[in-house]
Structure formats: structure tokens, C-alpha cells
């Protein structure tokens, strides 16, 4: 009995009922016949690490509001779902359980799929994909080969994170405080041959094309990408080195300070350092190099760390004055930025100055900035100033002019040229892991790298499980001898498959194209399908992917454009980064014990209440703290709304025009306000507007025209449709209760009637010296003169003005009168 009073609708029953209905009805499969304008709403697909959690709850609730709203507005909406199902956790689980990674992966996918369905998302299940399916990764491999043909996929040697105990390469994310996250051993660097994508070729386009998405992407994401790409403008300068025929090129942003270069530094882990080192210094260099390799990432990144280095026993020649300057190897110079070598100008660069002080190297000021001499102060002066002892530059006083002049000088003599470099490095995609997409390359002793022919794709994974997946220093695939041994496709000689798999970010860089052509067998997608749906109208996902997935996806799209496969260069027109769901001020974590279980919340309050809670909590991009929220009150509200529908006594199709005018006006103003909030993605405000309309309708039923008035039906229907965006189950129940045929998702978003948006009386504010002194009820059509007279006649205004003369009156009929006394 008590429960019946408490709950006027049965959430669990409604969830089961409508979930089944939507599935059988294919309510959320797009028509795709061109009769309606298409819109593509995309949620970042999930990794199947377990069941859905609070983070999914928020992100998907937001994406679903957008998808459902656009569907109601009359668009043909595609809202697909899939899984990013390759990845390391599956492999670790397989080792621990002596099973195949697929067992764990696909079991988790089923769990999540059921949860997505229960969560009431308006998803099109007919486009479902898993990146670990051979029919998907076949096309990942196909794309890799296209990149390879274009020279955009290549192999090179590089230093990578290496765990000496586990005998395996580690991704940067797996290095925690310089130690292996699995065993705690100190991670070192090891030189390995790895596959790369040449994303650096696209650095400038990744910057330039931001113009296309500036309107639709959060500024902070664009800023992060700009920062990450790190364009910097300067010059290459050639330095001759004693005993070397070819000069060594350095990159500098300050060629104008060349006269102040007093030494030269190369990255210790570069080939150049090893080559330049004089025999006498060989031992010292080798031990320094060892030390460098051992230095953990944390140590290396600390700016507090004192500068270290070793003299290489050779000298370079400063091209502007032919001075001999000593060459050092020091780890403050990075091998993979610029050319891995720098000219050091201690007076005007703090790092060079720190190094110079440690090794007692000369400091020569060539730029008078008005600040104390760096040689004495220990503080470098990197700003603008008047050039001194810089020959042709002397007399100039600003950097731009100095740089330009020096570049010109260098170019005339063939000693250097203006240049641009980027911080963006090529994308290392090799992983010595099993559960990923095999790299479709065969290594032949005679022919070298040979691509697997397209008609032999996919290169599927062999059946390895349990202990066979234990890291051994090379990919587990390398020990699958039968799988690995193949004839060379070119010459037929015995050859070997590449044993590495691809970074899972490769899989996720094109899945949104695949959704456009599910099940297509002639290619990764049909270009016509992609042209119909893309660019994606709305992408929703976490900001943690700002410089990873989102950058890679943009890169892939540009390459596909260059290949003629797609007709645009930016995949996502609009991006929304939802905030995190936290608890008691901190991110939810096992160690803090502050996790909130989504399933439990749904069991306790129902899907609708949970969805409503996260959407109403605040602006979608802000973090929301579960401790501040009240799903119980969301449920209470939903029950109140449900009773509203139950109280509607007029028949479906009743003529709204005969309804109570005041309520009708409130309803139409409410619809207008909701529409405005939704169009500007202020979903929390949209919910507040629904609540306001609910309150007004309740009053109309209880103490106004009553439930039989058609205006009450009009309001209840508008509320039901709007509510279906956040609380689809209650909305379906209400829609049915109101005598309509399901689904409410097929209803039309209500249009506010302009005639009902006007009011017969508005409040006019009267300000004196900017302070509100009176409020007048006036008709909207009141004239400026009438309003002025009314305002001046008001007793409070009179009293405030006292006998002061009036200097000025600003009138904005019908809302405001502002009086300025003299």
C-alpha cells in the first residue's frame, strides 16, 4: 500500500516494457531515404572494461538528449553504438584466467550492451560494431596499407620505454613515476624498430583547419591541440664542426642572437653525439649516455634539475664570426625536437645560462634589454632590446627586425634559412601486444617490407591464450611460429609476418566512418554513405582525448580526404566535452572508496531519475559532484509529472484554442524557453523550464481551470514531449496515458505560437540613478510618453527624486524607465 502511494508509476515495469517496444519497433533506426535532413549524433564509444559507470551515465545521457531533441525536431537522426574492443586489459585478464582475451572482451560487451539498452538510449543497434571483429580490423589493415603506400606509415629506430624485468616495451601511460606499473622496476630506454604514422606532415593542416571547427569545438580543446602541435618559427643555421665534412644544422627561434652563441650542444641520445665524440672523450660520453638513459621521465621533466652534460672534445664554428665554440652533449637538449642540436646563447636563454654557469662557459650579451647583465645576475634576458656587438644587427631594437635581418644574411651566404618546426612527433603505433590489430606487413629476407595484398586481408590473430600472452620482450605473436611463417607475397621465399599489433587509437580513428556503412564488404565504408551523414553534427565525449583520439581522428580524416575517399577535412562539426561525475569533491576511485555504482542507483531510483539527475545537475561541460545531487528528488519530481498526465481529463485532440488563456501563454512561453535552452546546449536550464511549466500546470489543475481544460492537456503534452529527452520511460507512459500511440519519440517538438508569447501586462522597472525604485504594471503597447508620465507620477519615485531637477530620462518601453536627476 505504502509503495503505491510513494510510486505512482512502476519504473522497473516501464523500463522493461518500453525497452522491448523500442527494439521491436526499430524506433531509433534512421529512415535514411533522404526525405528528412540527416543528422549524425555520435558518442565516443566505450572500452569494454566492465559494466557502465557514472561517467558513461552522464556522457550518454547528454548525447541522448541531443539525439532525441533533433529527432523530435524532424531530423533523420543516426545515433550509433559500438565498442573499442582491442586493448591491454583484456590481455592481462586472459593471462590471469588462462583464457583468450576475446572471452573477457565479448562477455563485457554483452554486459554493457544490456546496460545501454536499459539506460533507455535512442541508439540504432543495426550499426553496432566492435573494433576487434575481423570484419572491422580487416579495414583497419586496409587503411594502414593505404597510409603505407603514401609513405605515411614507416618504420624507424627509436628509444622507447623498456621494463628490464618484464622484458617488454611500455606505453607512456604504463610508466608510473618512472617505474613499471606492473612490477615496479625502473623503466629505461631501449632502441627498437617501430612503426610510425607521419602525422607531423599534417601539423600545419591540423592547425589551419581549426578555422572550420572554431565555432563548434570548445576553445580549450583547440588550445590544447595548438599547444600540442607547438608550431614555432625561427631558422635553421649550419655550423661547421672540426673534422666533419658536412655542417651540422641547428634550429633556433632566435637567430638574431647568433653573435652571443658561446657553445654548442647536442642531444646525448642522438646518433650525432656518438659520431662527433672525440676518442679521448669516448668513455666519459658513454657513461653520461648510460646515466641519461636511466634517468626517469620524472627526473628528466623536472625544470629544477641541475644541468648536466659532457664535453665531446670537438669544436663547432660560429658561422657569423668564425669563432670556435666547444661542443657538449647534454640531456636538456632533446633528440627528437628540431635537429637534436642547438647553438647555446647563455646571455639570452635561461637553460643555456644555467649550463654555462655549471661548466664555466663564457656569457656574452648581444642584446641590451635594460636589465642587468645575465653574466652577473644569473638571469637570462630573452626579451627585445638593442643589439650590441652583432655587426649588421647593431642599431636594431626589436626582435622581429633582428630575426628577419639575420635570416636574410644567412640565406645570402647559404648558411641557413628561415624555418618552422613543430613539437608534434610522429605517432608511434607499434605495440608488442597480442590483443590488437595485426600490422599487415611481411618481412622478406630478399624483398624487405612487403605489404599483405588487399585480397588476403584480414590478417587474423592466431589462437593464443593464457600464459602464451605473457610479455617476453617481443610481441606474443612472434612466438606463434606457424602463424608467423608465410611465403613472401612478392617472391614466394619463406618470410615472416610483422609480429606487432597497432595502437588501439588506430582502431578508434575511423570507427565513425564505419557506422555510415555497416557491414559493407567492399571497403571500410561507402563514400556516398559518408557524404550523406558526415561531418558528424554532434560528437560527445571526455576532454581526456583532446590531444590523442581527437587529434588522430582529425589526422585520419585529412588523409582520407587526400586519398579521395571523403569529401571533407574535419570529421566533427560540433564537440561537447561533458564533465566528470565526482563524489565528495574527488574523482571516484577504489582507493578512496567513494565510488557510486550506476547499477545500484538505477535499482534504487530508476533510469529516468538517474538520467534526470545528471542532466539537471549543472552545465554539461562542468564536473558534477554526486554528493550535491539528489536522485530521490528527481524521482519525486517524475512522479509529480506523471500524476499531471493522469489528471488530464479532456480527450486527445481537444481544441487547445478553447483552453484557459493564461495557462496557454505560460505553456508557449515555456516551450519557447526550453527550445532556446536546448539549442544552446544548456540542458540543465531546459530541465528547469520543464519544472516551471509543471508547477504552473499543477496549479491550473488544483486551483485554476481544472484538469478538464484543454489548456491543461496542451501543457501536459508539451511537458511529456520535452521530458522524453531526459526521462524517456516516464514520458512513454505519460504519452500513452494521454491517449496517444507510442512512441513519444515520433511526436513533433511543439512550436510556440507567437500570438501566445505576448502578455497583456508586463512589469516595468523604474530606476533612479540606476537603482530600482518602483515597478509598474503596464500594457506591452504602452508608449514612451505614457510610461514616462506614469514613472514620474509614482510616489516612491517622487520621494526619491525629492526636489532635484531631472537631467535625463531613458525609456525602453515597456520594460524600463531610467531617471537621472541633475
Partner RNA sequence: GCCCAAGUGGCGGAAUGGUAUACGCGGUCGGCUCAAACCCGGCUGUCCUUAAGGACGUGGAGGUUCGACUCCUCUCUUGGGCACCA
> Which positions from 617 through 656 interact with RNA, judged by CB under 7 A?
617-619, 622, 624-625, 628, 630, 633, 636-637, 640
Q: Which is nearer to RNA, 573 or 818 (CB)?
A: 818
Residues 192-251 that bind RNA (CB under 7 A): 219-220, 223-224, 226-228, 230, 232, 234, 250-251
Residue whose entry in the numeric block shows the C-alpha cell 520543464: 690
Q: Which is nearer to RNA, 581 or 654 (CB)?
A: 581
437 C-beta neighbours (distance < 10 Å), count? 27
Q: Is the dihedral of CA 343, 349, 354, 358 positive or negative?
A: positive
Q: Which of 131, 141, 194, 421: binder of RNA (CB under 7 A)?
A: 421
Q: Which is nearer to RNA, 370 or 795 (CB)?
A: 795
In whole angstroms, how close is the CB of 133 to RNA at the nearest point?
A: 31
Interaction of residue 76 with RNA, rule CB under 7 A: no
Q: Which of 136, 195, 311, 332: binder of RNA (CB under 7 A)?
A: 332
In whole angstroms, how close is the CB of 629 to RNA at the nearest point?
A: 7
Calculate the CA 413 to chain-centre distance.
46
Cell of 78: 543516426
Q: Which of 305, 357, 405, 417: binder of RNA (CB under 7 A)?
A: 305
Residues 566-625 that bind RNA (CB under 7 A): 616-619, 622, 624-625
In whole angstroms, how close is the CB of 536 to RNA at the nearest point?
A: 23
Q: Which is nearer to RNA, 305 or 740 (CB)?
A: 305
In whole angstroms, how close is the CB of 118 to RNA at the nearest point?
A: 24
Residues 261-290 that bind RNA (CB under 7 A): 267
**Please, which residues bridge with residue 189 across strands?**
161
Q: How far apart are CA 55 and CA 61, in angstroms?
A: 10
Nearest CA-CA partner of 366 in 343, 350, 382:
382
In whole angstroms, how close is the CB of 514 to RNA at the nearest point?
A: 28
In whole angstroms, how close is the CB of 233 to RNA at the nearest point?
A: 9
Q: Which is nearer to RNA, 261 or 553 (CB)?
A: 261
Residues 78-107 that bind RNA (CB under 7 A): none
Residues 6-35 that bind RNA (CB under 7 A): 6
Q: Which is nearer to RNA, 120 or 814 (CB)?
A: 814
In whole angstroms, how close is the CB of 426 to RNA at the nearest point?
A: 13
Q: Which is nearer to RNA, 143 or 575 (CB)?
A: 575
Mask 544-563, x = binds RNA (CB under 7 A)? --xx----------------
Q: How far apart are CA 338 and CA 251, in angstroms?
A: 6
Q: How far apart are CA 646 and CA 639, in angstroms?
A: 11
Q: Which of 274, 371, 404, 820: binder of RNA (CB under 7 A)?
A: 820
Residues 728-767 that bind RNA (CB under 7 A): 763, 765, 767
The tally of CA atoms less than 13 A away on the side-chain side of residue 270 is: 23
DSSP string, 444-481: ETTTEEEEPPGGG---PPP---GGGGS--SS-GGGG-H
Calculate the CA 455 to chain-centre distance.
35
Q: How far apart are CA 663 and CA 686, in angstroms?
A: 19
Count of positions on this chain that bind RNA (CB under 7 A): 82
Interaction of residue 796 with RNA, rule CB under 7 A: yes
Q: Which is nearer to RNA, 81 or 609 (CB)?
A: 609
Q: Which is nearer to RNA, 224 or 737 (CB)?
A: 224
- The separation between the first and the last C-alpha atoms of the chain, rounded to the nearest angstrom, is 71
Q: Which of 301, 389, 397, 470: binder of RNA (CB under 7 A)?
A: 301
Q: Which is nearer to RNA, 193 or 798 (CB)?
A: 798
**Please, which residues bridge with residue 816 across strands?**
765, 812
Interaction of residue 433 with RNA, rule CB under 7 A: no
Interaction of residue 357 with RNA, rule CB under 7 A: no
Mask 112-151, x = binds RNA (CB under 7 A)? ----------------------------------------
786 C-beta neighbours (distance < 10 Å), count? 15
424, 451, 520, 523 from 510: Cα distances, Å: 21, 21, 14, 13
Edge-to-edge strands, sheet with 538-541: 76-78, 38-43, 538-541, 575-577
With helix as H, strand as E and coil as C, how does 20-42 read? HHHHHHCCCCCCCCCCCCEEEEE
400 C-beta neighbours (distance < 10 Å), count? 10
In whole angstroms, how close is the CB of 796 to RNA at the nearest point?
A: 6
Nearest CA-CA partner of 740 in 807, 680, 654, 682:
654
In whole angstroms, how close is the CB of 562 to RNA at the nearest point?
A: 26
Name the strand (E) or helix (H) holding 535. none
Q: Which is nearer to RNA, 502 or 696 (CB)?
A: 696
The stretch near RNA (CB under 7 A) out of 30-38, 51-59, 348-356, 474-482 is 348-356
Nearest CA-CA partner of 651 in 718, 574, 710, 695:
710
Interaction of residue 300 with RNA, rule CB under 7 A: yes
Q: Which is nearer to RNA, 488 or 678 (CB)?
A: 678
In whole angstroms, how close is the CB of 785 to RNA at the nearest point?
A: 18
Q: Which is nearer to RNA, 102 or 356 (CB)?
A: 356
Specify the 3-state DSSP secondary structure of 550: helix
Nearest CA-CA partner of 366 in 421, 416, 321, 330:
321
DSSP string, 118-181: HTT---EEEEEEETTSHHHHHHHHHHHHHHHHTT-EEEEEEEEEEETTTTEE--GGGEETTEET
Q: Which of 52, 342, 410, 730: binder of RNA (CB under 7 A)?
A: 342
Dmax over Cα atoms in the chain, in whole Å?
Answer: 108
DSSP string, 759-779: -S-EEEEEEETTEEEEEEEE-
In whole angstroms, how close is the CB of 668 to RNA at the nearest point?
A: 16
In whole angstroms, how close is the CB of 543 to RNA at the nearest point?
A: 7
Interaction of residue 349 with RNA, rule CB under 7 A: yes
In whole angstroms, how close is the CB of 517 to RNA at the nearest point?
A: 34
Q: How far apart are CA 97 and CA 442, in angstroms?
A: 32
Residues 681-710 that bind RNA (CB under 7 A): 682, 684-685, 687-688, 691-692, 695, 698-699
In whole angstroms, how close is the CB of 803 to RNA at the nearest point?
A: 17
The stretch near RNA (CB under 7 A) out of 112-120, 332-340, 463-471, 787-795 is 332-340
Interaction of residue 384 with RNA, rule CB under 7 A: no
Contact indicator for 375, 284 with CB cutoff of 8 Å: no
Amino acid at each position: 500500500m505504502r509503495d503505491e502511494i510513494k510510486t505512482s508509476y512502476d519504473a522497473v515495469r516501464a523500463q522493461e516494457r518500453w525497452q522491448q517496444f523500442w527494439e521491436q519497433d526499430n524506433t531509433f533506426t534512421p529512415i535514411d531515404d533522404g526525405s528528412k535532413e540527416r543528422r549524425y549524433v555520435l558518442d565516443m564509444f566505450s572500452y569494454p572494461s566492465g559494466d557502465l559507470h557514472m561517467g558513461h551515465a552522464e556522457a550518454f545521457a547528454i548525447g541522448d538528449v541531443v539525439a532525441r531533441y533533433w529527432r523530435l525536431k524532424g531530423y533523420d537522426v543516426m545515433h550509433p553504438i559500438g565498442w573499442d574492443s582491442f586493448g591491454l586489459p583484456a590481455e592481462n585478464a586472459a593471462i590471469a584466467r588462462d583464457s583468450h582475451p576475446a572471452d573477457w572482451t565479448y562477455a563485457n560487451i554483452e554486459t554493457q550492451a544490456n546496460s545501454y539498452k536499459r539506460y533507455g538510449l535512442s541508439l540504432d543497434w543495426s550499426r553496432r560494431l566492435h573494433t576487434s571483429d575481423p570484419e572491422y580490423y580487416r579495414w583497419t589493415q586496409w587503411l594502414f596499407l593505404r597510409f603505407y603506400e603514401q609513405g605515411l606509415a614507416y618504420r624507424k629506430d627509436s628509444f622507447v620505454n623498456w621494463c628490464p624485468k618484464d622484458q617488454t616495451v611500455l606505453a607512456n601511460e604504463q610508466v608510473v613515476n618512472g617505474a613499471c606499473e606492473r612490477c615496479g622496476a625502473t623503466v629505461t630506454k631501449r632502441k627498437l624498430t617501430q612503426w610510425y604514422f607521419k602525422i607531423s606532415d599534417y601539423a600545419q593542416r591540423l592547425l589551419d583547419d581549426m578555422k572550420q571547427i572554431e565555432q563548434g569545438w570548445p576553445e580549450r580543446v583547440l588550445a590544447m591541440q595548438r599547444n600540442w602541435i607547438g608550431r614555432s618559427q625561427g631558422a635553421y643555421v649550419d655550423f661547421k664542426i672540426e673534422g666533419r665534412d658536412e655542417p651540422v644544422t641547428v634550429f633556433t627561434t632566435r637567430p638574431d642572437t647568433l653573435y652571443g652563441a658561446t657553445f654548442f650542444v647536442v642531444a646525448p641520445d642522438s646518433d650525432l653525439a656518438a659520431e662527433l665524440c672525440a676518442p679521448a672523450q669516448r668513455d666519459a660520453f658513454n657513461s653520461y649516455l648510460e646515466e641519461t638513459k636511466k634517468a626517469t621521465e620524472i627526473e628528466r621533466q623536472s625544470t629544477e634539475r641541475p644541468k648536466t652534460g659532457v664535453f665531446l672534445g670537438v669544436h663547432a664554428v660560429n658561422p657569423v664570426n668564425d669563432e670556435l665554440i666547444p661542443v657538449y652533449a647534454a640531456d636538456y637538449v632533446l633528440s627528437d625536437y628540431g635537429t637534436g642540436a642547438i647553438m647555446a646563447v647563455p646571455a639570452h636563454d635561461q637553460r643555456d645560462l644555467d649550463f654555462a654557469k655549471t661548466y664555466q662557459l663564457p656569457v656574452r650579451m648581444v642584446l641590451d634589454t635594460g636589465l642587468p647583465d645575465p653574466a652577473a645576475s644569473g638571469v637570462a634576458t630573452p626579451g627585445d632590446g638593442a643589439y650590441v656587438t652583432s655587426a649588421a644587427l647593431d642599431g636594431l631594437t626589436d626582435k622581429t627586425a633582428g630575426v628577419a635581418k639575420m635570416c636574410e644574411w644567412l640565406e645570402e651566404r647559404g648558411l641557413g634559412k628561415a624555418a618552422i618546426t613543430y613539437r608534434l612527433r610522429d605517432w608511434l603505433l607499434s605495440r608488442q601486444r597480442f590483443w590488437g590489430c595485426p600490422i599487415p606487413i611481411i618481412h622478406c629476407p630478399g624483398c624487405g617490407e612487403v605489404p599483405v595484398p588487399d585480397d588476403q586481408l584480414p590478417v587474423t590473430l592466431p589462437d593464443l591464450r593464457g600464459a602464451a600472452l605473457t610479455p617476453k620482450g617481443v610481441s606474443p605473436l612472434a612466438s606463434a611460429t606457424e602463424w608467423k611463417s608465410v611465403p613472401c607475397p612478392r617472391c614466394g621465399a619463406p618470410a615472416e609476418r610483422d609480429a606487432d599489433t597497432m595502437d588501439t587509437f588506430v582502431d578508434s580513428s575511423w570507427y565513425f566512418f564505419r557506422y555510415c556503412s555497416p557491414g559493407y564488404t567492399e571497403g571500410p565504408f561507402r563514400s556516398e554513405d559518408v557524404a550523406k551523414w558526415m561531418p558528424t553534427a554532434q560528437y560527445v565525449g571526455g576532454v581526456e582525448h583532446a590531444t590523442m583520439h581527437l587529434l588522430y581522428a582529425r589526422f585520419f580524416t585529412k588523409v582520407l580526404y587526400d586519398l579521395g575517399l571523403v569529401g571533407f577535412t574535419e570529421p566533427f562539426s560540433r564537440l561537447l566535452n561533458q564533465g566528470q561525475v565526482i563524489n565528495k569533491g574527488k574523482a571516484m576511485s577504489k582507493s578512496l572508496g567513494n565510488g557510486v555504482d550506476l547499477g545500484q542507483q538505477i535499482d534504487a531510483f530508476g533510469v529516468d531519475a538517474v538520467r534526470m539527475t545528471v542532466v539537471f545537475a549543472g552545465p554539461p561541460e562542468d564536473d558534477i559532484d554526486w554528493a550535491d545531487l539528489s536522485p530521490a528528488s528527481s524521482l519525486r519530481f517524475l512522479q509529480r509529472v506523471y500524476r499531471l498526465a493522469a489528471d488530464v481529463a479532456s480527450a486527445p485532440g481537444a481544441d487547445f484554442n478553447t483552453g484557459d488563456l493564461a495557462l496557454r501563454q505560460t505553456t508557449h512561453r515555456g516551450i519557447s524557453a526550453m527550445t532556446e535552452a536546448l539549442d544552446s546546449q544548456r540542458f540543465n536550464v531546459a530541465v528547469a523550464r520543464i519544472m516551471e511549466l509543471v508547477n504552473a500546470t499543477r496549479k491550473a489543475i488544483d486551483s485554476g481551470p481544472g484538469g478538464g481544460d484543454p489548456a491543461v492537456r496542451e501543457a501536459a503534452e508539451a511537458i511529456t514531449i520535452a521530458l522524453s529527452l531526459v526521462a524517456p520511460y516516464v514520458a512513454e507512459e505519460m504519452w500513452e496515458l494521454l491517449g496517444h500511440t507510442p512512441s513519444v519519440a515520433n511526436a513533433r517538438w511543439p512550436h510556440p505560437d507567437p500570438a501566445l508569447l505576448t502578455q497583456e501586462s508586463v512589469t516595468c522597472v523604474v530606476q533612479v540613478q540606476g537603482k530600482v525604485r518602483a515597478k509598474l504594471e503596464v500594457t506591452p503597447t504602452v508608449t514612451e510618453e505614457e510610461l514616462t508620465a506614469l514613472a514620474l507620477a509614482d510616489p516612491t519615485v517622487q520621494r526619491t527624486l525629492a526636489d532635484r531637477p531631472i537631467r535625463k530620462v531613458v525609456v525602453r518601453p515597456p520594460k524600463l524607465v531610467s531617471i537621472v536627476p541633475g
